Structure 1
Amino acid sequence: MLAASVTTLSGCGLEIPTDPDGALDRITGGELRVGASPSGDLVVVDGTVVDGALADLIEGFAREHDATVEWSVDSEEDLVADLEEGSLDLAIGGITAATPWAERVSVTRGYPGIPDSGGADVAVLLPLGENGLQAALETYLDGEVSR
């Protein structure tokens, strides 16, 4: 049925978002490489353990794709560089939709309903062009986070 839907959508001129580097296909049943920058209770880092409301959402997204999360902890600047070079799939922290990193990486919509965000429009960073992964993540967040 899914194949028929995809064929039907393709025939209508609608395109399903794709990933030039195959990120969504690679993480499904595999590993989601996520960089974390500490940010209050939103992203809590204790040694190599990453926790907090936003980290929990990312863990849930990974579970939906039968993936495990491989966490890396670093500064936002270093995480952006890792996204650009392709060694990370996502980066989280106290990042908002108004981030200055938007010229170098892709940014999800802002989600003000994430617990411990103080109502800020929290966003997640991804490598440029990984549109399938971004669409899947935003669809997941839309279902999990009250706006």
Structure 2
Amino acid sequence: MRRRGDLFQGKYPGVANDTRAYSGVMRSLIGRLIALLVLFLALTGCSGHYPADPHGTLEHVTDGELRVGVSHSPPETDLGPNPPTGTEVDLVRQYAETVSAHVTWTPGGEGDLVKQLKNGHLDLVIGGLTKDSPWDTEVGITRGYAESTDEFGDTRKHVMAVRNGENAFLMDLEAFLADHGGRS
């Protein structure tokens, strides 16, 4: 009858003749297998598209419709009797051309437009929003793409609002604004 300590007796030269050596070898082997498994999962998990749009905004607007909420804030946006005008309106029209989108304008107040944006009824909100917008915890805000000076001499950094989590759309819009934004 073989004793526990004789497990490797004569079969593996240089290996200690007890179960501690066996458990050490197994621990090392299991550790390496776990490390390989973690590496495999990390690499395959990163193969998806990043940045992502959970609601598919960029895909929806490309060759489709860009639904824009616009509040009255001259000279960035002016809601006269005709379609909206202003510097931000012009930027949105130019951006829409780059993604082959038709723009649909929805006029309203900031609060109502942000609610529609959060609920997925709009893709973008413009209207003189600034970097210190009270909506930045509720929606995604672009980086400041233009600056202007208000009536008090303070510098305002202009932004646009997108639905939270729509990072591919946000990054595409920000890349456009970096090239085409400017001083309002």
Shorter-chain TM-score: which interval?
Answer: 0.7 to 0.9
Q: Is 69-78 or 37-46 further displaced after alignment?
A: 37-46
Unaligned runs of 5+ in 1: 1-9
Under a length normalisation based on structure 2, what TM-score does the superposition of the two structures give? 0.68
Residue 145 of structure 2 is matched in structure 1 by 111
**In structure 2, C-alpha distance between the alignment counterparts of 1:28 and 1:100, rounded to whole Å:** 29
Structure with bigger gyration radius: 2
CA contact (8 A) 1:48 1:73 kept: no
**In structure 1, C-alpha distance between the alignment counterparts of 2:163 and 2:97, rounded to whole Å:** 21
Residue 7 of structure 1 is matched in structure 2 by none
SS of 1:69's equivalent in the other structure is strand
Under a length normalisation based on structure 1, what TM-score does the superposition of the two structures give? 0.84
**In structure 2, C-alpha distance between the alignment counterparts of 1:73 and 1:35, rounded to whole Å:** 6
Q: Is 41-50 or 80-89 further displaced after alignment?
A: 41-50
Alignment identity in percent?
A: 37
**In structure 1, C-alpha distance between the alignment counterparts of 2:170 and 2:60, rounded to whole Å:** 14
Residue 159 of structure 2 is matched in structure 1 by 123
Q: Deviations over 1:82-119 (max 9, x none)?
A: 01110000000111011110111110111234xxx445
Q: Deviations over 1:107-137 (max 9, x none)?
A: 0111234xxx445210000110000000000
Q: How does 1:74-85 map to 2 (within 5 A)?
A: 74-85=108-119
List structure 1 segments (4+ residues) > 4 angstroms apart after TM superposition.
none
Q: Matched residue pairs, number?
A: 134
CA contact (8 A) 1:24 1:132 kept: yes
- 1:142 pairs with 2:167: no
Q: Is 43-52 or 69-78 further displaced after alignment?
A: 43-52
Q: Deviations over 1:43-85 (max 9, x none)?
A: 0111351110111001110000000100000000000000111
CA contact (8 A) 1:111 1:120 kept: no
Q: Which has the higher contact order (CA 8 A, sep 6+)?
A: 1
Residue 51 of structure 2 is matched in structure 1 by 17
Q: How does 1:8-87 map to 2 (within 5 A)?
A: 16-47=50-81, 49-87=83-121
Q: 1:132 aligns with which of 168, 173, 181?
A: 168
Unaligned runs of 5+ in 2: 1-42, 150-154
